[in-house]
Chains A and B, each alone.
Chain A
Amino acid sequence: MNDHDLRFAKRLVLLNSAVPAVVLGWDAWHHQLGANPVNFAILTTGMLALVFLLLTLLVTPLRVLSGWNWIIFSRRTLGLYAFFYAALHFLIFFSLDRGFSVASTVSEMVQRKYLLVGITGLLVMVPLAVTSTNAMIKRLGGKRWRALHRLAYVAAVAGVIHYYMQVKKDVRQPLAFAAVLAILLGYRWWATLRRPVPAGAGKAGGGL
């Protein structure tokens, strides 16, 4: 894969990941979000945040198993989109559902335990987003950066638990997400068992 193709692939990921947000905005503008538009937007962005978290965690196993080393380029973009959709998810809840009331948002969080789990997921993504630049990777050093970015696992686990807890009764879908996450995390566990990585080895991009 040459530089040109890589840049093109980057654009492809960057653009397509934004499509759901654009369609959601377009539909909202045209009153096409159904009977309960605010809830629809909350559920949609929550689902997208979770899907992008899982896609982010899929990159490394896919890369190792397929040998397509170049796909690592997409991990940062996918991760940032996961953060973007989770932040949007929270902001829609805070603004349109809670009417910008901090008091109501906080009291609702205390009331609904699954919101505390959700905010944990969102908060651990903040340092990941902040340290996602090349300069930050250099500043932290690959080892520390990789250790920090294991928080992505925490975010994904929190996301799945949050999803499971808020479902009224039909838990089939959250369990399916939990199963996918278990496979993605299980792969990493299995990989470390098989081939312990010597301390300090590998570039920043290699670990996760």
Chain B
Amino acid sequence: MQEPDKISQREITDPAVYFNRRQFLQTGILAASAVATGVVYHELNHPAAGVTKTVPLAGLTTTPTNADNGFHAAEPATSFQDITHYNNFYEFSTDKEGVAAAAAGFNTRGWQVSVEGLVRHPRVFSLAELLSLSPPEERIYRMRCVETWSMVIPWAGYSLSKLLDVVEPLEGARYVAFESLLDPQRMPGQRADVLNWPYVEGLRLDEAMHPLTLLASGIYGQALPPQDGAPLRLVVPWKYGFKGIKSIVKIKLVAEQPRTTWSEAGPNEYGFYANVNPHVDHPRWSQATEQRIGQSGRRPTLMFNGYEAQVGHLYAGLDLRANF
């Protein structure tokens, strides 16, 4: 029998030490891998982060509050952070939590809005000219998205009727057509054919002339941030949010009902009217309840989003199921 090799005998690590070291190493690897997985997971899936820079709006006034006009919803407003970091604006991103980041730095310098069509005084307004038509008023409106979430938003702006009064619609004008900016350079979401760009929307003239219909230039007393439709957008509080066209460059008075982006994208899912209506469901989901952002639990959705007293008469005799 050969003598065991003395040197190697001495070099064999004591099994207890060996397994300890091994266990130590493995625990380390386990922990490190878990941290790495956590970081990757968070990178791929996180809610909107970041803070939006604000620019105060000059000359904000408060409209006389009167219980009946609907100008000031008597409900706690959604936080500025949530309003600016959870919304749809497909021109930038189809991810509601990704819009703010994608829209940051959107350049609105030299913005112009053409008001044209069946009006006595067609005209291209600079943004400053438009804003100077009437001082911005604070309007606290409920906002109900067709996706069944809702907010309460302190907008700033003036009734669209003030602009329409300036340009004077002609006899034959029965509808107002709106158009958003088309610029895939500045609006990266437009590089994909998710919707038929540019985004277009429309209202009946009487809807457009209603005092609740707002041409908004701000939120919380600040200029509209890019993600919420800078520099100028429409707000129609009794209709689903997608009627509120953003970053408007054209307003045209027309005789026939104009085409609208979502009703073209899904004719049986989104109509021209899009009035908030808990009794008429979306073909794929119920519209009876909504999730108020910042609150827990769902609440019942109100007819015309709670503005029935103000706007119900506009739809007297109209079949709301057929005209959804």
Residues of A in contact with B (beta carbons under 8 Å apart): 4, 8, 11-12, 15-16, 19-20, 22-23, 32-36, 38-40, 44, 47, 96-97, 99, 107-108, 111-114, 165-166, 168-170, 172
Encoded as 1 (CB less than 8 Å from any A CB) or 0, chain B from 17 to 45 comes to 00000100010011001100110011001
Residues of B in contact with A (beta carbons under 8 Å apart): 22, 26, 29-30, 33-34, 37-38, 41-42, 45, 47-48, 81-82, 85-86, 90, 94, 96-97, 147, 149, 192, 194-195, 265-266, 281, 284-286, 291, 293-294, 296-298
Central interface residue in A107, A111, A114, by most chain B CB within 10 Å: A111
Q: Is the CB of B298 within 8 A of A36?
A: no
Q: Is the CB of B37 within 8 A of A39?
A: no
Contacts A16-B33, A35-B86 given: A169-B266 contact, CB under 8 Å?
yes
Return chain B residues, CB-CB under 8 Å to A32.
Answer: 47
Return chain A residues, CB-CB under 8 Å to B38.
Answer: 19, 22-23
Q: Bound state CA distance, A170 and B269, in angstroms? A: 15
Which residue in B41, B82, B86, B147 is a CB contact (below 8 Å) of A168?
B147
Which residue in B37, B90, B195, B291 is a CB contact (below 8 Å) of A38?
B291
Q: Is the CB of B286 within 8 A of A108?
A: yes
Q: Is the CB of B33 within 8 A of A36?
A: no
Q: Is the CB of A16 within 8 A of B34?
A: yes
Return chain A residues, CB-CB under 8 Å to B26.
Answer: 8, 11
Q: Write the nearest CB–CB distance from A11 to chain B, whole angstroms.
A: 6
Q: Apart from A19-B41, A34-B47, A35-B97, what 12 extra A-B contacts exist at CB < 8 Å?
A: A11-B30, A12-B30, A12-B33, A19-B38, A32-B47, A34-B48, A34-B85, A35-B82, A35-B294, A36-B96, A40-B47, A111-B281
Q: Is the CB of B284 within 8 A of A19?
A: no
Contacts A19-B34, A99-B298 given: A169-B48 contact, CB under 8 Å?
no
Return chain A residues, CB-CB under 8 Å to B296.
Answer: 38, 96
Q: Write the nearest CB–CB distance from B116 to chain A, whole angstroms.
A: 29
Q: Please report the number of residue pairs spanning A and B whose Cβ atoms sit closer than 8 angstroms.
A: 85
Q: Write the nearest CB–CB distance from A174 to chain B, whole angstroms.
A: 12
Q: Can you list 20 A-B contacts (CB < 8 A)?
A: A12-B30, A15-B30, A19-B37, A19-B38, A23-B41, A33-B47, A34-B97, A35-B82, A35-B97, A35-B294, A36-B96, A36-B149, A36-B291, A40-B47, A99-B298, A111-B281, A168-B147, A169-B265, A170-B90, A170-B192
Return chain A residues, CB-CB under 8 Å to B22.
Answer: 4
Q: Write the nearest CB–CB distance from B205 to chain A, whole angstroms.
A: 29
Q: Which residue of A lies closest to B195 (CB)?
A: A169
Q: Bound state CA distance, A22 and B284, in angstroms? A: 32
Which residue in B37, B281, B294 is a CB contact (below 8 Å) of A16?
B37
Q: Bound state CA distance, A15 and B29, in angstroms? A: 11
Contacts A15-B30, A38-B291 given: A114-B284 contact, CB under 8 Å?
yes
Q: Is the CB of B86 within 8 A of A36?
A: yes
Q: Bound state CA distance, A168 and B47, in angstroms? A: 19
Q: Bound state CA distance, A36 and B45, in angstroms? A: 14
Q: Is the CB of A169 within 8 A of B284?
A: no
Central interface residue in A4, A44, A169, by most chain B CB within 10 Å: A169
Q: Is the CB of B97 within 8 A of A12?
A: no
Q: Bound state CA distance, A169 and B30, in angstroms? A: 40
